[in-house]
Structure formats: structure tokens, C-alpha cells
């Protein structure tokens, strides 16, 4: 089965590719010659995932899935949420995003947060939604060199290390995206 993953993020693409069974051929937007910047204008993660999946399916005719992920910090009323990738403004910059978040949390005792991923799958003219949540807290300083995005400052619940200190295999077992992708994979296996 061929499936397009509607992302330009090569880190995400590599992370997801490692998780999928060999029976699924994962295509990137580059593989289908889609270099468009698909605007994410929805006010929810689910809505943004639907926009991206629908764009690829409607314009290129492929079965496709797309995701949107947000970091939701409880003491910031769920921010940065849907704006996580561009929290510090355009263009998206992980370092600036982390610095802005750490500065907003300076002096706050409640550092509880969760990563949430929503996936929209367009398959054979039907649409399916999957989600995954990983709870934890925001650290006061960056820890680790692996991963991407907010990984160096997010420590999952019941762990003593940040996402950036984990191998991709360790992270994928417990991460928001890993959990959402597992639901997607289980669904796709039922079709075979």
C-alpha cells in the first residue's frame, strides 16, 4: 500500500518511517512533487491535520495522512497549542520557541504539559482521525541532543530524562506521535 505523509518535516518523516510495517510504502510530499506550503488555518490540531490531508488527496489524488502536533502547557492555558511550531514567530525556529516558552514559565511552579498529536487519514474516499497524548512537564533547562522541536525541554511523566535524551525507539514507544501512529498502524493492519 502506498501512503503519502503530508509533511515537509524530514525529522518527522524519518521518525514515522521507522514505525510503519514494510507493507506500507511511505511517500513524502517531495516524492509526489508537492512543494506547496499548505497553510494551517484551523483553530484545532484536528482541523489542521484535515486541511493538509485533504489538500494532498484533492490536488494529487493520493491516499494520504497528515498530522498536527501541539505542546499544551497547563499554566499557560494550553499555549502554545496549535501555534507550537511558530510560537516565537515566522519562520519556525525551535531554539527561539523553546526560549520563549522557558521565559513564559520563569518563576512558575506548575510546569505540567502534554504533547498532543492528531492524525487525519484519507483512505479510499473515507476519512479517519487518530490521536495520541503524552503527559509530562517542562524542564527549566535544555537536556539532551537528540530529537527536535521542544524535545530538549519536555520530560515525559514517570521518566527522568527529556525526549532529547532518549533514542528514537524509546521515544516512539511513549510519545504522542508514536501513540497516534500506533493507532493508525493497527487500523491499517485490519484492512489487510
Q: Quote the DSSP letter at residue 92.
A: P
Catalytic residues: 68
Q: How many CA atoms lie within 13 A of 15 on its CB side?
A: 25
Answer yes or no: are the C-beta atoms of 133 and 97 closer than 8 Å. no
Alpha-carbon distances, residue 44 vs 31, 74, 149, 172 (angstroms): 28, 17, 19, 23
Alpha-carbon distances, residue 19 vs 37, 51, 56, 125, 180 (angstroms): 26, 24, 22, 24, 11
Q: Evaluate the omega torsion of the peptide bond into residue 111 and state whether it is cis, within 30 degrees of 0.
A: no
Amino acid at each position: 500500500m502506498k501512503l503519502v505523509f503530508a509533511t515537509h518535516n524530514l525529522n518527522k518523516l524519518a521518525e514515522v518511517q521507522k514505525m510503519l510495517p514494510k507493507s506500507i510504502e511511505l511517500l513524502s510530499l517531495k516524492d509526489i512533487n508537492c512543494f506547496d506550503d499548505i497553510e494551517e488555518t484551523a483553530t484545532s490540531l484536528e482541523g489542521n491535520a484535515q486541511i493538509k490531508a485533504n489538500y494532498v488527496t484533492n490536488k494529487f489524488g493520493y491516499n494520504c495522512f497528515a498530522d498536527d502536533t501541539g505542546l499544551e502547557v497547563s499554566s499557560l492555558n494550553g499555549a502554545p497549542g496549535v501555534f507550537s511550531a511558530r510560537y516565537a514567530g515566522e519562520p519556525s525556529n525551535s531554539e527561539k520557541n523553546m526560549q520563549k516558552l522557558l521565559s513564559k514559565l520563569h518563576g512558575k511552579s506548575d510546569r505540567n504539559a502534554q504533547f498532543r498529536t492528531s492524525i487525519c487519514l484519507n483512505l479510499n474516499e473515507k476519512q479517519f482521525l487518530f490521536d495520541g497524548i503524552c503527559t509530562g512537564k517542562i524542564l527549566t533547562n535544555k537536556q539532551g541532543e537528540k530529537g527536535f522541536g521542544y524535545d530538549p525541554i519536555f520530560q515525559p511523566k514517570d521518566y527522568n530524562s527529556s525526549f532529547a535524551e532518549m533514542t528514537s525507539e524509546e521515544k516512539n514507544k511513549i510519545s504522542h506521535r508514536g501513540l497516534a501512529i500506533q493507532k493508525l498502524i493497527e487500523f491499517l493492519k485490519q484492512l489487510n
